[in-house]
Structures are given as structure tokens and as C-alpha cells.
Amino acid sequence: MKTRSPIVAMLWEIFRVTRVEAALKVAFGTVGGLAVLALCATVAPADNAKKYEDIMDNGAAAAMILLVLPHLVSGLSLARLNGGRPGFPLYLHYTRPVRTAVIVGLPMAYLTVMSSAVYLVSALLLRVTSDYAFPLIPVAAWIAVLNLVLV
């Protein structure tokens, strides 16, 4: 792919590098959360409504942990490119000058938005398939802040 803008080229390269990780996060959060909720539904006794509700609430909390857990390691996909050494991990040779703020800010913004979007997709899928209202905006905001700090 040949682009004239270094920003578009950087976005394409970051997307190319992180798309598999994003898909795995969506799959892990959604499938893992559904598996925990299904397991809790089969374990919970149907005759005692209070105990059933408690087990299902604990299962929803465990599903929430599985949703958020993959976002603690978001910066590893870019750090893995240069072996964990400090410095700019995208070793592209741009033919046009790129400002330092763009080189640093664009990957940070992309990883922040991508992690929040991946959480929102997974939480919406779990919200649609189960009867639990997983929090969307507050947790996505916390994930965005956490990614900005860690990246």
C-alpha cells in the first residue's frame, strides 16, 4: 500500500500490526464472558432464587474481569516490534518529514481508541446475549486513561 501522507501510512502500519490482537481481545472477552455466564447458569440451583441470583451476579463479575483483563497489556503489541527496547517501535522509512508529536501521539491515540472500542464491542455483545447490563462508558473511559498512562 502506497500512501502520500505519513499519518495514513502510520495508521495503516499500526492497524496491520494490532488487528490480530484486537480480534483476540474481542473473542477472549466475549467467548470467555459467555462461558463464565453459562457455567454459572448450569451450576446455580434453580429451586433457590436468592442463591441462583447470587451465583449469577458473581458470574457476571467474573465475566467483567475477563472483559477488562486483556486491556492491561495493550502496549505489548507495539513494544514487541523492537524487542522491548526503548525507542520508536515502528521502523518504517518515511520519505517525508514527520513531527515528533505525530510519531508519539498517533500510536498512543490509536491504541487508546482501539482498546476502548474493543471493550465496547465485547461488552455490547455480552449485554445483548445475556440479561446483564455491563457498564459501557465508565469502564471504556477507565480503559482509555489506563492505556494512556501505560503506553
The three-state DSSP-derived secondary structure of the chain is CCCCCHHHHHHHHHHHHHHHHHHHHHHHHHHHHHHHHHHHHHHCCCCCHHHHHHHHHHHHHHHHHHHHHHHHHCCHHHHHHHCCCCCCCCCCCCCCCCCHHHHHHHHHHHHHHHHHHHHHHHHHHHHHHCCCCCCCHHHHHHHHHHHHHHC
Calculate mean pLDDT across residues 65-78.
Answer: 76
Pick the more confident residue, 93 or 11.
Answer: 11
Q: Note the pTM of the prediction, 2 decimals.
A: 0.81
Pick the more confident residue, 2 or 123.
Answer: 123
Look at the block and give the residue holding cell 502496549: 75
Residue 121 binned pLDDT confidence (cut-offs 50, 70, 90): very high
What type of residue sits at position 84? Answer: G
